[in-house]
Amino acid sequence: MAVMDDADAMDLWGLSPVPTLILSPTCRIDRVSDGLLDAWGGRGRPEFVGKDVFDALYAASSLKRFDRIPLTRFIDVATNTRKPQLCYAAYNAGDGSSWSARVIPIFRRDNLLSLVLEWEMVQSKPGSLSGSLAIEMTQNMLSVDETLGLLIKSVKDYAIFLLDTKGYVATWNNGAELLKGFKKTEIVGRHFSTFYGDEDLRNGKPESELEICLREGRVEDEGWRYRRDGTRFWANVVITAVYREGVHVGFGKVTRDLTERRDAELRLVEAYEESAKLKNEFLANMSHEIRTPMHGLLSACTLLLDTPLTQNQRDLADLIADAGQMLLQVINSILDYSKLASGNVIMTSIPIDTSNIVSSVVRNAQVRLRPEVKLQLDLSPDLPKTLQGDPLRYRQVVQNIVDNAVKFTEEGLVSVQTTVLEEDEETCTILTNVTDTGIGLQVTDATAQNLYKPFIQLEQSYSKRFQGTGLGLSIAKSIVELMNGQLGYRPNPVSRGSIFWFTAKLKKIPEEKLENGDSVELQLRVASEDARSLVQRLEEIAPQMKLLAAEDNLINQQVLRRMLHSFGFSQVDIASNGAEAVSIVDNAPDTYDLF
């Protein structure tokens, strides 16, 4: 008895009267049956063998990327399930006939050897257009109860229509006609990609939606769609894969016009943004209006403490000063938050000594430490002496993180470590870690971002013991981002407590000598010494000088007068505003030495 080898078997496939294509695992055509060449007359073997099956079947179609979607999907399903799959109306022959493909995967153990595509004619209609024939067959396959069909057809608020397996429009209801602007006779048989804009077509959005729908059964999207006259509307689109007796026969598509809703949402967003802008402006203005008398109050309190007081009076004045400083800190936080939220913060770029700033903050924090807490500072010797940035804002971030660690740590250690994280020729990124053994934070990955939301205090049980606005970390994060850095949190790995860290990317200052041979550091020191010399000089000449100052707040006028008197300026006049000051100088230009 003769035994056939694989080559003989493949030759038998070629002799088969059944229209058949034999594909390699990469979907290249290895064999074509005589039955297929007979059925699809006019095409010879060279048009198939060795070619990609999708090129061989759909190369002549201007919508090849859609035509291949059903067959691609069912080849994938057949390969994954190792079971035959029927792809309905997968190919339209040149004579107007439409053919379904039965996809049969051939495996040897776990190796895919080949794919067999057996073709069966769905319906023959010589002389008709292939697209029109497919549409007619889809309409027949998707026929529904007459009453339901009339209901769908009469709906005017929704465009409801059916597509064939490749995306050609098969049915068209009244809502679709009103929404899209196409009559049924104009659109049936055309491809649904007609409704998409050029950008969506370039990005492959229509075919992607059909592929997702075949894979997942349904796809929903919102975006611009286009009418017959070229105008566009914002649409909600739902596409559903439609099956009949387990065979995929097309897609159901429902489109709603959401342009009015979207316009209303945009108006709400604009109103919200305007409201937020007004809120931030209000906060900024109110903070300024409150801060002005607060400065007057604190300055007056300072002057009061410089006068002879009883111990009881001095204690009360100290309480006023401490409470005033706390209130001023709250006001400053609100002002900073409103400026950052409205984008009105301008970062300066001047020489900055990060080591000096961190050291200064740590020294000032010593006075607020509890006796049971140790404060430790570790500055890397590699830290550049001078960089370029905003020293006040940098100090504000360090101050906030260190102050929080000191405030929430009742015993143990607060450690501040500053190092160089990375650098290049132009910039240096400084990393500061502040580790404490305080109360810690009960946060998860999902709630960690709440740390940086304004007015949020996660540890509510401690809120009465540890007062604050909940703005500090939000402000610090915004400032750090303006310094091209990041701010983050992680729990202390060795004990209860927290680690807050931040980075700042600062510009390097060229290592050039100044004209007088001084470095930047020396220049800063000389400027500081010049300032002290200036103060000393002012105290010497103050008794002989007559000043004119402008201040619109009555309390601050009195405070300003007293402060100037403390420097030795005895001849001081104060105008209630700038315009009055200008008028006084214009009328008596030689009266004042300084104004």
Domain CATH for 124 = 3.30.450.20
Asked whether the predicted pLDDT for residue 20 surpasses 70, the reply is yes
pLDDT at site 102: 94
Which one has a higher pLDDT value, 25 or 278? Answer: 25
Same domain, 500 and 355: yes
On whether residue 286 sits in a domain, the answer given is yes
Same domain, 315 and 463: no
Q: Please state the domain count of the chain.
A: 5
Which one has a higher pLDDT value, 451 or 205? Answer: 205
Same domain, 91 and 237: no
Same domain, 311 and 382: no
Comparing 9-23, 70-84, 280-294, 401-415, the range with the smallest average pLDDT is 280-294
Using a pLDDT cut of 90, give the percent of the chain over it.
33
Residue range 26-64, pLDDT digits in tens: 999 999 999 999 888 878 889 999 999 999 999 888 888
Instruction: Give the residue-averaged pLDDT of 273-289.
Output: 73
If DSSP states are collapsed to H, E and C, what string results for 133-193? Answer: HHHHHHHHHCCCCHHHHHHHHHCCCCEEEEECCCCEECCCCHHHHHHHCCCHHHHCCCEHH
Residue range 58-91, pLDDT digits in tens: 988 888 889 999 999 999 999 999 999 999 889 9
* C-alpha to C-alpha distance for 151 and 443, rounded to whole angstroms: 54
Which of 202, 222, 257 is the endpoint of a domain? 257
Tell me the three state secondary structure of residue 388: strand
Q: Note if the pTM is more than 0.85.
A: no
Comparing 161-175, 316-330, 499-513, 529-543, the range with the smallest average pLDDT is 529-543
Beta strands 111-123 and 571-575, pairing class = unpaired
Same domain, 382 and 501: yes
Same domain, 59 and 83: yes
CATH number assigned to the domain comprising residue 488: 3.30.565.10
Domain residues for the domain of 396 are 350-508
pLDDT at site 385: 85
Same domain, 370 and 391: yes
Same domain, 326 and 469: no
CATH number assigned to the domain comprising residue 527: 3.40.50
Residue range 230-247, pLDDT digits in tens: 899 999 999 999 988 888
Same domain, 10 and 69: yes
Beta strands 85-92 and 98-108, pairing class = antiparallel
Cα 123 to Cα 97, 129, 166, 330, 434: the distances in Å are 6, 13, 17, 81, 77
Asked whether the predicted pLDDT for residue 212 surpasses 90, the reply is yes
Same domain, 461 and 403: yes
Residue range 101-155, pLDDT digits in tens: 999 999 999 999 999 999 998 865 444 444 455 555 555 555 544 545 655 667 7
Which one has a higher pLDDT value, 330 or 449? Answer: 330
pLDDT at site 594: 75
On whether residue 262 sits in a domain, the answer given is no
Asked whether the predicted pLDDT for residue 443 surpasses 70, the reply is no
Output the average pLDDT for the chain: 82
Residue range 486-536, pLDDT digits in tens: 998 888 888 888 899 999 999 988 765 434 444 444 444 544 455 567 767
Which of 448, 480, 508 is the endpoint of a domain? 508
Which of 226, 257, 288 is the endpoint of a domain? 257
Same domain, 101 and 212: no
pLDDT at site 128: 40
Same domain, 46 and 171: no
